[in-house]
Structure formats: structure tokens, C-alpha cells
């Protein structure tokens, strides 16, 4: 992975995330061309899709980037060559929150997903918040827990990404950890990103990142390198 992968706990497109997103914009080698994808909210209706789309464009425009939204909301739109082409023309892709299972199912094996990976391969930034972060781990929890863990894209192998960790970690963290076996829980708090760049993971933002492995549980804060077995 030649680019930057950012896994955000919560708070996408809101003012408290400006410092994190400025950090990510500074990881680019040229002018920022941001595409916001509301895909994870594809089942939530036009109002919510419009909300995420407008909020993302306004946020990144305010930060000085060229920003647009792309209506990738189902398998059909994820297969459209035109949508994939627009993503390939960008150097920053942002996946906002919603349903992680739906997001993974929608993107798997599509030209849009291949285009997102190409942005990373070419040195760009890919950021995902909440559901958008969870799909980059090895597995995701299912709620209700009929099938405890479902495989996802494994860009962070051996880990399960748990967003909103400051809100739900105390309640759900031990339950999820009990299901993981050898997998590591990565709990990302709100207004915070776990950033992978040049093979190194770093906590960026106002909160922290908790690494809960089989051997230990450690919380990292802004600027600290995040390590796990």
C-alpha cells in the first residue's frame, strides 16, 4: 500500500475532525481531489444520503480541497464504469458511516472497489468512518450476533475495527473481544483516526486508539505509533 489509509471512529465531516482531515490532506503530494461516498447509508433514504453528501462536500471545500460526492449506493451503481473512472481521477476517497455489512456487500468485487484500491496504490488517501472503517479489518461483528464474525476486506489483517469506542467500548468491547480468538480488537474513538502510512500505524486526533490483543490492552493517543503483535 503506497498511500494512506485512515480509519475514523466517528465524527466524519464535522468541525472537530478538521485537524485530522488537514493531516490527511497534507499526506497528498498534489492538490486534493476528494470524492465522498455515502455508500454505507444506501438503505437509509434520500434525506440521509443527501445529508452525508452535502456535509462531505462542504467540509472538504472549507478545507481548501476540490470536493465532490458520488452516488454509489447499491451494487448497480458500484458496477458503473463511469463511477469507477471518477474515483480513479481522485486522490482522496472518503467512505462515511452507515451499515458495514451493506457497505461490504455493495462494494465487493466491483469496479468502484478496484478504483478505491487503485487510489491507495497510487499514493492517495482512503478514509473510512464508522462502518467505512470497519470494512478494512479482517472481520466485522454481526448484530444481532447470529453469525458472530463476518469476513471483510482485510487491509488490516488480524484485526477487528471497533469504531465509536469512547461511546460503546465499555459495553461492547469485552463482548466483542470474547469472540475474537487470536484476532486483535482495534477500538477507535470519536474525532480520531488510526492512520496507516509507510507501514506504520499512528493515532491522530482528539481521542485515542485502544489495542486489545490476546496478551495486553493498550491505549494510544495523538501522535503515538500504534503497535500490536
Indicate the average pLDDT of the chain.
95
Q: What is the pTM of this model?
A: 0.96
pLDDT for the residue numbered 146? 52
Judge whether 177 and 195 are in contact, CB under 8 Å: no
142 pLDDT above the threshold of 80:
no
In-domain check, residue 174: yes
Output the domain CATH number for residue 217.
3.40.50.880
Half-sphere exposure of 29 (CA within 13 A, CB side): 8
59-116 pLDDT, tens per residue? 999 999 999 999 999 999 999 999 999 999 999 999 999 999 999 999 999 999 999 9
In-domain check, residue 227: no
pLDDT band at 175 (very low <50, low <70, confident <90, very high): confident
- Domain residue limits at 136: 4-221
Identify the residue with better confidence: 41 or 145: 41
In-domain check, residue 137: yes
pLDDT band at 145 (very low <50, low <70, confident <90, very high): low
Q: Cα angle vertex 100, ends 98, 103, to 5°?
A: 85
Residue 155, all three cell numbers: 487491509
Q: How far is Cα of residue 229 from the mean position of the Cα atoms in its chain?
A: 22
Neighbours of 175 (CB within 10 A): 11
193-229 pLDDT, tens per residue? 999 999 999 999 999 999 999 889 999 999 999 999 8
Q: Report the distance separating Cα 207 and Cα 192, nearest Å.
A: 5
In-domain check, residue 228: no
In-domain check, residue 61: yes
Q: Report the distance separating Cα 220 and Cα 39, nearest Å.
A: 30
In-domain check, residue 229: no
In-domain check, residue 158: yes
In-domain check, residue 226: no
Q: State how many domains the chain has.
A: 1
Amino acid at each position: 500500500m503506497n498511500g494512506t489509509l485512515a480509519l475514523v471512529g466517528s465524527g466524519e465531516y464535522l468541525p472537530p475532525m478538521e485537524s485530522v482531515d488537514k493531516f490527511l490532506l497534507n499526506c497528498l503530494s498534489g492538490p486534493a481531489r476528494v470524492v465522498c461516498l455515502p455508500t454505507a447509508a444506501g438503505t437509509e433514504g434520500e434525506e440521509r444520503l443527501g445529508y452525508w453528501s452535502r456535509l462531505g462536500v462542504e467540509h472538504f471545500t472549507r478545507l481548501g480541497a476540490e470536493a465532490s460526492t458520488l452516488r454509489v449506493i447499491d451494487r448497480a451503481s458500484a458496477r458503473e464504469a463511469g463511477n469507477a473512472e471518477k474515483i480513479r481521477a481522485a486522490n482522496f476517497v472518503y467512505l462515511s458511516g452507515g451499515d458495514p455489512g451493506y457497505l461490504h456487500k455493495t462494494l465487493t468485487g466491483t469496479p468502484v472497489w478496484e478504483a478505491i484500491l487503485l487510489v491507495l496504490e497510487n499514493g492517495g488517501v482512503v478514509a473510512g468512518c464508522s462502518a467505512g472503517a470497519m470494512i478494512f479489518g479482517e472481520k466485522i461483528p454481526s448484530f444481532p450476533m447470529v453469525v458472530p464474525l463476518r469476513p471483510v476486506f482485510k487491509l488490516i489483517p488480524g484485526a477487528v475495527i471497533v469504531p465509536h469506542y469512547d461511546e460503546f467500548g465499555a459495553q461492547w468491547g469485552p463482548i466483542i473481544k470474547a469472540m475474537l480468538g487470536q484476532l486483535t480488537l482495534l477500538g477507535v474513538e470519536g474525532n480520531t483516526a488510526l492512520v496507516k502510512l509507510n507501514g506504520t500505524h499512528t493515532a491522530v486526533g482528539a481521542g485515542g486508539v485502544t489495542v486489545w490483543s490476546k496478551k495486553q490492552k493498550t491505549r494510544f493517543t495523538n501522535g503515538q505509533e500504534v503497535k500490536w503483535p
